[in-house]
Chain A
């Protein structure tokens, strides 16, 4: 039986649209109907503009019937994490600070999606300013995991993962600073790719930690991730950290299969705190690759135990500096009860930011403050060098690393009330951001209770094609990615 329209892949739908079996308006309407039916339970969206999406879909149909050149994503509904600017649409970062903000311009990735013909669909919930691992820290309420509504979808791009898993979009975009694409992808049973730092423009992405942030796709298959990455990747003069490199044909490379077959298993990623069912799924994946003739090697990333601390110094330091711009003056929330200008800053920020954002601004301000800079920030940057060297050394022996994405499957709302317990959810994903590497989470099984388990594959810098091919090798032999939640 063919999947319902709202659960089909980009690859399938692009072919069906091209063959005239389906119109873009019919596709968009199917996605709207599905969203109306389930989003009061999932709560993935902060806002959506049905009329605007249907108008974009109608324009795609008009281009097709006029015989105009069609983009690779023409007529495909793609929803966006609410930190990516779309001109004329709300942009909230799930914060009271930006509750009424309207984007004055398009992010570069949005311009690229438009050029590719995609239908821009809705603004997805997140942890406020992308700070969190559960999408509970949203000023507009928590998102629910479609596989078990009492559980979190992960975070910070929880809305992006949940919307896709629930059939409320055909693909979505998220952003990943310490695991914010991969961990929710794992919790919701979808594919999530964090590209190499610099591969995808950050222009028009609300900044959290600028040396770590990267935009990336959520999709149902690895092939879809390749199709979406093709559109997103490439140099942008508006992002001075954007990388200038030849962009390969990702889909062709992925379909051709991996060129090398040496897989590393970092021993530090199987320590205390790893859920036994997650560990079993990863071990089964290792056995699968071995059976396929891959050379499996245990490798060591000796500074792994320091990743979390290094990350929480660097990320909060950069965040405290980036979020200084929200001062109630030019845009964003302004306190109505302030007297002088200093009080205006202090009260606007106090009223506009939620608890986790305040906590991280305080920590970041502290580690950068006079007398503490060398002890914390500079030292963290030095340890970052060592963490990065660990990965590069491992890549002398192997071509990709296989690990769990998250130490545990989706947890219940309210379960991780202590900030440190929440931060520990990211231990397997943050090293990748510190080292600037590409990594993907793919569906790798289910727990006895029916919760998705994610496998993480980490690749060499800017070798996304090889990474995706390695991931697809597993995906093609398993059907986890074809299962759908009961909603």
Chain B
């Protein structure tokens, strides 16, 4: 398991798409350092050959019938959009 000091806060904040202030960076680094140090104790557990559990009661291949059913109207789907025009969500330009 990697050391607690390895948390590169700038890299992780970029991955998480979070613009952190310098104060948040230093606070989170310190606080999460403590949490990661606590987590180190998981190293003590012998997990050789143990299957991982993703859900307590695994259910697989749950399919829905391929039948059309009513969904949200355009107005309902756009109701919470921060910016809209002509039934579309407006976003900053993403291609040059």
- Contact for A101 among B31, B57, B80, B93, CB less than 8 A: B80
Check A362–B52 contact: CB distance below 8 A. no
CA distance A327 to B80 in the complex (A): 13
Check A198–B57 contact: CB distance below 8 A. yes
A93 located at the interface, meaning its Cβ lies under 8 Å from any Cβ of chain B in the complex? no
Check A363–B35 contact: CB distance below 8 A. yes
Known: A105-B72, A340-B92, A365-B15. A359 touches B81 (CB 8 A): no
Within 8 A of B (CB), among A354-395: 355, 358-359, 361-363, 365-366, 369, 371-372, 375-376, 378-386, 388
Q: A334-B83, A353-B18 are in contact. List 18 more A-B contacts (CB 8 A).
A: A237-B64, A243-B59, A303-B45, A306-B45, A309-B38, A320-B16, A331-B82, A332-B80, A338-B92, A346-B18, A347-B19, A350-B19, A369-B12, A375-B1, A381-B54, A382-B47, A382-B51, A434-B53
Check B92–A358 contact: CB distance below 8 A. no
- Of chain B, the residue at the smallest CB distance from A355 is B24
> Which residues of chain A are within 8 angstroms of B82 by Cβ–Cβ distance?
328-329, 331-334
Check B51–A366 contact: CB distance below 8 A. no
- Of chain B, the residue at the smallest CB distance from A340 is B92
Check A330–B80 contact: CB distance below 8 A. yes
Known: A312-B35, A331-B80, A365-B12. A350 touches B18 (CB 8 A): yes
> Which residues of chain B are within 8 angstroms of A436 by Cβ–Cβ distance?
55-57
CA distance A379 to B16 in the complex (A): 22
Q: Is the interface of B mostly helix, strand, loop or mixed?
A: loop
Known: A104-B77, A241-B59, A308-B38. A418 touches B92 (CB 8 A): no
- Of chain B, the residue at the smallest CB distance from A351 is B19
- Contact for B50 among A100, A353, A385, CB less than 8 A: A385
Check B52–A381 contact: CB distance below 8 A. yes
- What distance in Å separates the Cβ of A342 from its nearest Cβ neighbour in chain B? 7
Check A384–B16 contact: CB distance below 8 A. no
- Of chain B, the residue at the smallest CB distance from A243 is B57
> Which residues of chain B are within 8 angstroms of A101 by Cβ–Cβ distance?
80
Check A363–B32 contact: CB distance below 8 A. yes
As a 0/1 sequence over residues 231 to 246 of chain A, the CB contacts with chain B under 8 angstroms (1 = contact) are 0000001001101000
Identify the interface centre among B34, B35, B72, B93: most chain A CB within 10 Å of its CB: B35
CA distance A237 to B79 in the complex (A): 26
- What distance in Å separates the Cβ of A58 from its nearest Cβ neighbour in chain B? 26
A446 located at the interface, meaning its Cβ lies under 8 Å from any Cβ of chain B in the complex? no
CA distance A362 to B12 in the complex (A): 6
Q: Hey, which bits of chain B sit against chain A, CB under 8 A?
A: 1-2, 7, 9, 11-13, 15-21, 24, 27-28, 31-32, 34-36, 38-39, 41-42, 45, 47, 50-57, 59, 62, 64, 72, 76-77, 79-83, 89, 91-94
- What distance in Å separates the Cβ of B67 from its nearest Cβ neighbour in chain A? 11
Q: Which 9 A-B pairs have the closest CB atoms?
A: A436-B56, A381-B52, A334-B82, A331-B80, A346-B19, A382-B47, A350-B19, A240-B62, A365-B16
A271 located at the interface, meaning its Cβ lies under 8 Å from any Cβ of chain B in the complex? no
Check B31–A359 contact: CB distance below 8 A. yes
CA distance A343 to B76 in the complex (A): 27
> Which residues of chain B are within 8 angstroms of A329 by Cβ–Cβ distance?
82, 89, 91
> Which residues of chain B are within 8 angstroms of A312 by Cβ–Cβ distance?
35, 39
A344 located at the interface, meaning its Cβ lies under 8 Å from any Cβ of chain B in the complex? yes
A310 located at the interface, meaning its Cβ lies under 8 Å from any Cβ of chain B in the complex? yes
CA distance A309 to B72 in the complex (A): 40
- Contact for A362 among B1, B28, B54, B83, CB less than 8 A: B28
> Which residues of chain A are within 8 angstroms of B72 by Cβ–Cβ distance?
104-105
Within 8 A of B (CB), among A305-341: 305-306, 308-310, 312-313, 320, 324, 327-334, 338-341
A43 located at the interface, meaning its Cβ lies under 8 Å from any Cβ of chain B in the complex? no
Identify the interface centre among A243, A312, A358: most chain B CB within 10 Å of its CB: A358
Check A358–B83 contact: CB distance below 8 A. no
A423 located at the interface, meaning its Cβ lies under 8 Å from any Cβ of chain B in the complex? yes
> Which residues of chain A are within 8 angstroms of B54 by Cβ–Cβ distance?
211, 381
CA distance A328 to B94 in the complex (A): 14
Known: A102-B79, A312-B39, A420-B34. A211 touches B55 (CB 8 A): yes
Check B64–A372 contact: CB distance below 8 A. no
- Of chain A, the residue at the smallest CB distance from B89 is A330
Check B2–A362 contact: CB distance below 8 A. no
- Of chain B, the residue at the smallest CB distance from A423 is B35
As a 0/1 sequence over residues 92 to 104 of chain A, the CB contacts with chain B under 8 angstroms (1 = contact) are 0000000011101
CA distance A425 to B55 in the complex (A): 24
> Which residues of chain B are within 8 angstroms of A359 by Cβ–Cβ distance?
28, 31-32
A435 located at the interface, meaning its Cβ lies under 8 Å from any Cβ of chain B in the complex? yes
Known: A358-B24, A372-B2, A379-B1. A418 touches B31 (CB 8 A): yes
Known: A361-B18, A376-B1. A197 touches B56 (CB 8 A): yes
Q: Can you name 6 A-B residue pairings with CB atoms under 8 Å?
A: A104-B76, A327-B17, A331-B81, A346-B18, A358-B28, A386-B45
